[in-house]
């Protein structure tokens, strides 16, 4: 296990200690949105079609004290009846490709923090993947946490799905330390939580609100629209204001 000294990242963002339930909900909601904004798998489509994804999402929102309006809640529920499983999966694959996978400067929305910021900042031409200050900073933090993905040489680590999975890892480690029962477990848990807070402040909060807003504006598929609407609410709520 990394020591407290190994994982601290400088000035603490907050000394607030989350409950185990809230840590678990933060880990779970990070995992849900990582899956939601990865290239759609059959398992994701099945979870959306069956309503299991929506049920897990609502449980997380409730635990975190995040409220969504009744109209959005109704649209989330309607996802289950709009299409069959295969139709939902295929329509999500087509829309994901259209939104996020168009090459280079022709991309509608870049799913990578560095590339998204490049375009948002008025950059001209195609953004550089892998070797840009943002991607390098994210990679450095993942290495510090010994959590660099195995595919980091073929997939930029600053993708929305990789960053959110990293956030999940940090919350999960905090929770595991909290529940370990070993001496100083709470202190190490707090250090992992500090790491998560700092990563969110320096990266997640910089671009996910804009990414979700762009998705809401550009998507032709309501499942991505409501996912982004919920995501925009989730990532607007400062971590220390969550229940």
Domains, the chain: 4-241 (1.10.3480.10)
Higher pLDDT, 36 or 131: 36
pLDDT at residue 15 tops 80 = no
Higher pLDDT, 151 or 238: 151
Task: Identify the band that residue 236 occupies on the pLDDT scale cut at 50, 70 and 90.
Answer: confident
Note the pLDDT of residue 186: 63
Note the pLDDT of residue 220: 96
pTM over 0.95: no
Higher pLDDT, 76 or 212: 212
The stretch 126-137 carries a mean pLDDT of 88
Note the pLDDT of residue 9: 34
Give the whole-number percent of the chain exceeding pLDDT 90.
66
pLDDT at residue 5 tops 50 = no
- Please compute Rg for the chain using Cα positions: 18
CA distance 148 to 166: 9
Task: Identify the band that residue 229 occupies on the pLDDT scale cut at 50, 70 and 90.
Answer: very high
Query: 14: exposed, middle or buried (C-beta count within 10 Å: 0-12, 13-18, 19+)?
Result: middle
Q: Phi and psi at residue 159, in whole multiples of 5°?
A: -70, 160
Question: Taking all residues of the chain, what is their mean pLDDT, rounded to a whole number?
Answer: 86
Note the pLDDT of residue 183: 55
pLDDT at residue 174 tops 70 = yes
Name the residue with tokens 């339930």.
21
pLDDT at residue 102 tops 60 = yes
């Amino acid at each position: 296990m990394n020591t407290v000294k190994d994982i601290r990242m400088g000035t603490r963002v907050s000394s607030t200690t989350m409950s185990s339930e809230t840590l678990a909900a933060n880990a779970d909601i990070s995992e849900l949105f990582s899956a939601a904004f990865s290239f759609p798998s059959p398992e994701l489509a099945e979870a959306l079609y069956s309503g299991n994804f929506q049920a897990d999402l609502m449980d997380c929102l409730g635990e975190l004290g995040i409220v969504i309006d009744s109209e959005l809640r109704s649209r989330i529920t309607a996802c289950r009846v709009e299409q069959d499983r295969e139709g939902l999966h295929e329509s999500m694959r087509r829309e994901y490709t259209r939104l996020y996978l168009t090459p280079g400067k022709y991309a509608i929305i870049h799913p990578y923090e560095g590339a998204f910021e490049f375009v948002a900042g008025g950059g001209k031409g195609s953004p550089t993947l892998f070797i840009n200050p943002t991607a390098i900073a994210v990679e450095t933090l993942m290495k510090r946490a010994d959590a660099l993905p195995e595919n980091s040489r073929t997939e930029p680590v600053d993708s929305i799905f990789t960053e959110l999975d990293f956030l999940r890892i940090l919350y999960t480690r905090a929770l595991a330390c909290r529940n370990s029962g070993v001496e100083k477990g709470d202190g190490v848990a707090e250090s992992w939580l500090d790491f998560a807070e700092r990563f969110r402040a320096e990266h997640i909060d910089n671009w996910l609100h804009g990414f979700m807003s762009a998705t809401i504006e550009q998507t032709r598929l309501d499942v991505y629209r409501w996912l982004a609407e919920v995501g925009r609410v989730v990532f607007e709520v400062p971590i220390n204001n969550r229940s």
